Amino acid sequence: MDKILLNGLTFYGYHGALHQENELGQRFVIDLELELPLEAAGKNDDLVSSIDYGEVYNLTKAIVEGAPYKLIEAVAEKIVSTLFSAFTKLVSCRVKVIKPDPPIPGHYQSVAVEIYRDRNRNE
């Protein structure tokens, strides 16, 4: 399946199970992998045959910078459901939500969740 990849979308949000995360907020980095047929778009050079990356970005930004969730798992699910609703051509979607600086002790690069949803298996 063909894919559109949007990597490293960075936003500031207030998601987290800890009170300080909801008050202070933190950076979130989102990676998206959108599967859909792209052959027609490649042949006719028409955005109607693809998905508008700008709209994907704006929808994702509205979720991450919007109302807080306790879990980044919920943020990922909201992104997937929103993208499926907005883009009927979307066949499947992988979303990775990364917290580069979570308020937990230890040495690590980041913590993240990644989910994969297929429209046909999730309807």
Active site residues: 99
Q: Within 10 A of 72 (CB to CB), how many other CB atoms are there?
A: 24
d(CA 95, CA 62): 15
